[in-house]
């Protein structure tokens, strides 16, 4: 997740998150937790209001797809909506 | 007790604020801290019912109507005022100090207003007091934003007044009670509330003005105006089906803007709009569960949104910018602020934090009412809101690529304000019973069931995973310095352009008509001159002889004609 930090001042203390490996650890940790949350569904009884709630990992998959869709749509919208910072001449 | 009950709640802050400029140093600090505490204590002592009724021009004006709905909003407004004051203790500007307290007092006064005229007075006072919090930023951008803000806010007040007049003429009542859509007066009141509540297409004053206010001003602004509108809608338009759709739309469409917006305080303003949508859906559904949800969510949202605005304010205060494109790596310089920001982000909907136990009520009400589409939209908004407010804000400000910016940690008073707010966010999340106990109706809801916790965690962490995947694959759009067109484009660009074009067209036409007229006039004049001027044929003096000659010719012609 972290980019190489060229802007980091010299002699600056190195932090745990400055290591690429550690960022990877967080990422894989997140993957494992997500997997665990999906499987957790098998161990309790569901009380659903809507049929969709009974599908396996409905909330997780819905959230994942919704967010990917959201960003891709927003990225396209940017082509339509993006203007220069002082578009309205307020500065 | 009669005197305590007879004191209108809002006046404590408003009158108290007027003394602020007279005090100095620590005395002033102490005074500003004491005011909200006294106000809060006053609320605790109030008996339910109608107090402080005044007869004026044949109308009964009620300054203090105390019931459970009003009290929830009263409590949280006083808490927000106190937290805001702590956050702003380093500010020396008396104008801001007075404006903030009057603004908070006006919002509280409006909540306890028992009639529409009193509501109107406080409604306008919130607009006038709050605009100083934007003006105080001192930039040209802030000045122009504050003028637009004031126009919209006063416009809402004018509509409210017109609505009250029509409503009174139709029903004979000025009571601030359930009104419901129907008559023209009621509809105007609905639109007036809708403007302050940032309904879709009426929303843009919020994203326009809030990020332009001062560091501390935005914290105050985020708490009062919009939540006052939510309160007014809940009081007068609960159960209005249309609000379900309006609310759903409010939760869905600002998300896209939040993803591409660069100014992180503006991202939060879009997030505020989304959470208002949740509250509006709750009002629209109109069941006890959903209205409880609206009140609870207003309460927790005031806290965590203030916390997020505080953390971004601290960043702006220390680094001079709040733009995602220029920030990054600040966790090294501002570790406490980072931690508080993460608490604010988690409070949007993570279990054990404020938003989880309040938003759930609204989602549950939507599910119970079998509003499938609304429920799906709210779920999408939950994921999306966490996604950008929860991930984007902390990520781009404090982590992401290291911007090389090194600054001091936030001032101590800011840290205290953030710390207390964070503690409250976690407090109501872990132990929601006290909040549930003050809601308008009896609560029979258990937020911490296994299914609920697991499903919500799934929603959040899979959203976080989506963010991580997009970041790692480089698909995520970078933060760019930009302005994104929103509905304010109509009155900031299109309308001025149209007016300019119309003015140009009118002046062009006027000029053309004028020059055509001038040409006609001068040609007529020259023709006249040609025939009647000094050298003109018709102005010449003819000799008598030639006249006699012509007469003779005519007579001869006549004679010849006669004989023929």
Task: Inspect the interface and report whether the beta carbons of A59 and B458 lie closer than 8 Å.
Answer: yes
Contacts of B334 in chain A (CB under 8 A): none
Element containing residue B105 per DSSP (H, E): helix B94-111
Instruction: Point out the residue among B145, B465, B493 whose CB comes nearest to the CB of A30.
Output: B465
Contacts of A91 in chain B (CB under 8 A): 140-141
Quickly state the pLDDT bin for A2 (edges 50, 70, 90): very low
The Cβ of residue B540 has, within 10 Å, a number of other Cβ atoms equal to 8
Residue A4 shares a structural domain with residue A36: yes
Quick check: is A24 in a domain?
Answer: yes
Task: Inspect the interface and report whether the beta carbons of A71 and B368 lie closer than 8 Å.
Answer: no
Instruction: Point out the residue among A34, A49, A77 whose CB comes nearest to the CB of B465.
Output: A34
Is the minimum CB–CB distance between B399 and chain A shorter than 8 Å? yes
Whether the Cβ atoms of residue B162 and residue B181 lie closer than 8 Å to each other: no
pLDDT digits (tens, 9 = 90+) for B298-348: 999 999 999 999 999 999 999 999 898 889 889 989 999 999 999 999 999
Quick check: is A37 in a domain?
Answer: yes
Task: Inspect the interface and report whether the beta carbons of A13 and B145 lie closer than 8 Å.
Answer: no
B366: closest CA among B298, B442, B290?
B290
Residue A1 shares a structural domain with residue A36: yes
Task: Inspect the interface and report whether the beta carbons of B329 and A81 lie closer than 8 Å.
Answer: no
Residue A39 shares a structural domain with residue A1: yes
Task: Inspect the interface and report whether the beta carbons of A88 and B492 lie closer than 8 Å.
Answer: yes
B164-173, B177-186, B383-392: which has the minimum mean pLDDT?
Answer: B383-392
pLDDT of B100 reads 96
For B19-58, strand residue ranges (E) read 49-56
Average pLDDT, chain B: 92
Residue A39 shares a structural domain with residue A54: no
pLDDT of B121 reads 95
Quick check: is A13 in a domain?
Answer: yes
Reply yes or no on whether the pLDDT at B151 is more than 70.
yes
Whether the Cβ atoms of residue B82 and residue B45 lie closer than 8 Å to each other: no
pLDDT of B299 reads 97
Mark which residues 149-188 of B lie under 8 Å from A by CB. Answer: none
Contacts of B465 in chain A (CB under 8 A): 30-31, 34, 64
Quick check: is A7 in a domain?
Answer: yes
Based on the number of CB atoms within 10 Å of its own CB, is B18 exposed (0-12), middle (13-18) or buried (19 or more)? exposed
Contacts of A58 in chain B (CB under 8 A): 455
Q: What angle do CA B214, B218, B224 make, to 5 degrees?
A: 140
Contacts of A33 in chain B (CB under 8 A): 461
Residue A40 shares a structural domain with residue A55: no
pTM, two decimal places: 0.89
pLDDT of B390 reads 80
What would the two tokens of residue A86 be? 């002082």
Contacts of A18 in chain B (CB under 8 A): 402
Of chain B, the percentage scoring pLDDT greater than 90 comes to 74
Quickly state the pLDDT bin for A9 (edges 50, 70, 90): low
Q: What is the arithmetic mean of pLDDT over B182-210?
A: 94
Reply yes or no on whether the pLDDT at A3 is more than 70.
no
The distance of Cα B135 from the centroid of its chain, to the nearest Å, equals 16
Instruction: Point out the residue among A1, A81, A88 whose CB comes nearest to the CB of B468.
Output: A1
pLDDT of A10 reads 63
Instruction: Please report where in the chains the tokens 């004031």 appear, as a residue.
Output: B150
Is the minimum CB–CB distance between B404 and chain A shorter than 8 Å? yes
Task: Inspect the interface and report whether the beta carbons of A71 and B476 lie closer than 8 Å.
Answer: yes
Q: What is the arithmetic mean of pLDDT over B514-529?
A: 92
Task: Inspect the interface and report whether the beta carbons of B387 and A67 lie closer than 8 Å.
Answer: yes
Residue A35 shares a structural domain with residue A68: no
Whether the Cβ atoms of residue B417 and residue B87 lie closer than 8 Å to each other: yes
The distance of Cα B45 from the centroid of its chain, to the nearest Å, equals 32
Largest CA distance in chain B: 131
CA distance A52 to chain B (A): 10
Residue A39 shares a structural domain with residue A17: yes
pLDDT of B69 reads 96
Mark which residues 442-481 of B lie under 8 Å from A by CB. Answer: 450-451, 454-472, 475-477, 480-481
Reply yes or no on whether the pLDDT at B164 is more than 50.
yes
Task: Inspect the interface and report whether the beta carbons of B399 and A1 lie closer than 8 Å.
Answer: yes
Q: What is the arithmetic mean of pLDDT over B246-273?
A: 92
Quick check: is A88 in a domain?
Answer: no
Contacts of B481 in chain A (CB under 8 A): 85
Counted across chains A and B, CB pairs separated by less than 8 A come out at 174
Instruction: Point out the residue among A30, A41, A47 whose CB comes nearest to the CB of B464.
Output: A30
HSE of B380 in the Cβ direction (CA atoms, 13 Å)? 22
Contacts of A20 in chain B (CB under 8 A): none
**CA-to-CA distance for B251 and B377, rounded, in angstroms?**
8
Task: Inspect the interface and report whether the beta carbons of A78 and B375 lie closer than 8 Å.
Answer: no
Reply yes or no on whether the pLDDT at B353 is more than 60.
yes
B44-58, B118-132, B202-216, B236-250: which has the minimum mean pLDDT?
Answer: B44-58
B2-6, B92-96, B164-168, B485-489: which has the minimum mean pLDDT?
Answer: B2-6
Whether the Cβ atoms of residue B117 and residue B59 lie closer than 8 Å to each other: yes
pLDDT digits (tens, 9 = 90+) for A37-71: 988 888 888 888 888 888 888 999 999 999 999 98
Reply yes or no on whether the pLDDT at B372 is more than 60.
yes
Give the residue, B427 or A16, on which the prediction is more confident: B427
pLDDT of B471 reads 86
Contacts of B404 in chain A (CB under 8 A): 5, 7-9
pLDDT of A6 reads 52
Task: Inspect the interface and report whether the beta carbons of A77 and B375 lie closer than 8 Å.
Answer: no
Mark which residues 48-107 of B lie under 8 Å from A by CB. Answer: none
ipTM score: 0.86
B56-70, B196-210, B534-548: which has the minimum mean pLDDT?
Answer: B534-548
Enclosing domain of residue A59: 49-82
CA distance B476 to chain A (A): 7
Whether the Cβ atoms of residue B264 and residue B146 lie closer than 8 Å to each other: no
Give the residue, B118 or B349, on which the prediction is more confident: B118
Reply yes or no on whether the pLDDT at B498 is more than 50.
yes
Residue A5 shares a structural domain with residue A28: yes
Quickly state the pLDDT bin for B266 (edges 50, 70, 90): very high
Is the minimum CB–CB distance between B491 and chain A shorter than 8 Å? no
**CA-to-CA distance for B309 and B322, rounded, in angstroms?**
11
Mark which residues 336-395 of B lie under 8 Å from A by CB. Answer: 367-368, 370, 372, 375, 379-380, 383-384, 387, 395
- DSSP letters spanning B396-456: HHHSSS------PPPPHHHHHHHHHHHHHHHHHHH--HHHHHTSSS-----S--HHHHHHH
Please name the residue of chain B whose CA is at the shortest distance from the CA of residue A26.
B468
* A interface test, pick of B252, B259, B270 with most A CB neighbours within 10 Å: B259
Task: Inspect the interface and report whether the beta carbons of B404 and A30 lie closer than 8 Å.
Answer: no
Contacts of A15 in chain B (CB under 8 A): 331-332
* B interface test, pick of A35, A52, A59 with most B CB neighbours within 10 Å: A59
User: Which residues partner with B439 through β-bridges?
Assistant: none
Reply yes or no on whether the pLDDT at B225 is more than 80.
yes
DSSP one-letter code for B477:
P
Q: What is the arithmetic mean of pLDDT over B528-533?
A: 84
What would the two tokens of residue B362 be? 């609204």
Residue A2 shares a structural domain with residue A34: yes
Residue A55 shares a structural domain with residue A31: no
Quick check: is A17 in a domain?
Answer: yes
Specify the number of domains making up chain A: 2
Residue A40 shares a structural domain with residue A53: no
Residue A39 shares a structural domain with residue A73: no
Instruction: Please report where in the chains the tokens 């090294």 appear, as a residue.
Output: B332
């Amino acid at each position: 997740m972290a980019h190489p930090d060229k802007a980091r001042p010299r002699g600056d203390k190195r932090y745990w998150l400055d290591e690429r490996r550690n960022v990877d650890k967080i990422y894989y940790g997140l993957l494992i937790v997500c997997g665990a949350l999906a499987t957790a569904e098998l161990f309790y009884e569901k009380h659903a209001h809507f049929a969709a709630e009974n599908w396996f990992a409905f909330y997780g998959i819905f959230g994942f797809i919704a967010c990917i869709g959201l960003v891709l749509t927003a990225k396209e919208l940017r082509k339509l909506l993006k203007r220069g910072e002082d578009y309205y001449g307020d500065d | 007790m009669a005197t305590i009950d007879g004191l209108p709640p809002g006046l404590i802050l408003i009158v108290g604020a007027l003394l602020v400029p007279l005090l100095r140093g620590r005395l002033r600090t102490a005074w500003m801290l004491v005011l909200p505490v006294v106000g809060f204590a006053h609320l605790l002592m109030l008996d339910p019912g109608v107090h402080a009724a005044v007869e004026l021009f044949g109308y009964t004006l009620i300054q203090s109507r105390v019931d459970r709905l009003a009290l929830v909003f009263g409590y949280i407004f006083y808490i927000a005022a106190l937290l805001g004051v702590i956050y702003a203790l380093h500010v020396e500007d008396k104008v801001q100090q007075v404006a903030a307290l009057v603004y908070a007092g006006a919002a509280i006064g409006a909540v306890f207003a028992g009639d529409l005229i009193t509501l109107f007075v406080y409604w306008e006072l919130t607009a006038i007091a709050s605009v100083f919090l934007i003006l105080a930023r001192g930039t040209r951008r802030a000045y122009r934003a504050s003028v637009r803000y004031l126009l919209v806010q006063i416009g809402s007040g004018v509509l409210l007044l017109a609505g009250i007049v029509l409503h009174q003429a139709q029903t004979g009542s000025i009571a601030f009670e359930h009104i419901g859509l129907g008559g023209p007066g009621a509809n105007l009141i609905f639109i007036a509330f809708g403007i302050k509540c940032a309904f879709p297409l009426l929303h843009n004053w919020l994203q326009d003005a809030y990020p332009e206010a001062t560091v501390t001003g935005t914290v105050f602004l985020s708490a009062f105006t919009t939540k006052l509108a939510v309160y007014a809608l809940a009081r007068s338009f609960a159960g209005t089906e249309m609000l379900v759709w309006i609310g759903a739309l409010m939760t869905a469409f600002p998300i896209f803007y939040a993803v591409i917006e660069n100014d992180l305080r503006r991202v939060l303003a879009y997030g505020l709009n989304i959470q208002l949508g949740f509250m509006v859906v709750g009002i629209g559904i109109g069941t006890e569960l959903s209205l409880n949800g609206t009140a609870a969510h207003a309460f927790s949202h005031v806290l965590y949104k203030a916390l997020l605005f505080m953390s971004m304010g601290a960043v702006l205060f220390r680094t001079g910018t709040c733009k995602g494109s220029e920030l990054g790596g600040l966790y090294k310089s501002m570790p406490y602020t980072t931690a508080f920001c993460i608490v604010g982000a988690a409070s949007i909907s993570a279990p054990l934090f404020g938003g989880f136990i309040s938003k759930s009520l609204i989602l549950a009400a939507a599910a119970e009412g079998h509003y499938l589409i609304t429920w799906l939209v709210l779920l999408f908004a939950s994921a999306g809101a966490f996604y950008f407010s929860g991930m984007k804000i902390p990520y781009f400000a404090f982590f992401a690529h290291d911007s090389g910016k090194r600054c001091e940690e936030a001032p101590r008073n800011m840290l205290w304000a953030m710390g207390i707010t964070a503690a409250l966010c976690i407090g109501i999340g872990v132990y929601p019973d006290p909040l549930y106990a003050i809601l308008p109706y009896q609560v029979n809801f258990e937020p911490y069931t296994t299914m609920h916790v697991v499903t919500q965690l799934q929603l959040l962490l899979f959203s976080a995973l989506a963010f991580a995947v997009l970041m790692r694959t480089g698909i995520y759009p970078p933060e760019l310095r930009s302005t994104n067109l929103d509905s304010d484009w109509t009155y900031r660009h299109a309308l001025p352009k149209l007016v300019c074009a119309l003015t140009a067209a009118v002046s062009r036409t006027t000029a053309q008509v004028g020059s055509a007229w001038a040409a006609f006039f001068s040609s007529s004049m020259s023709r006249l001159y040609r025939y009647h001027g000094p050298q003109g044929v018709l102005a010449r003096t003819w000799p008598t002889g030639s006249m006699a000659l012509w007469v003779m010719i005519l007579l001869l012609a006549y004679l010849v004609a006669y004989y023929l």
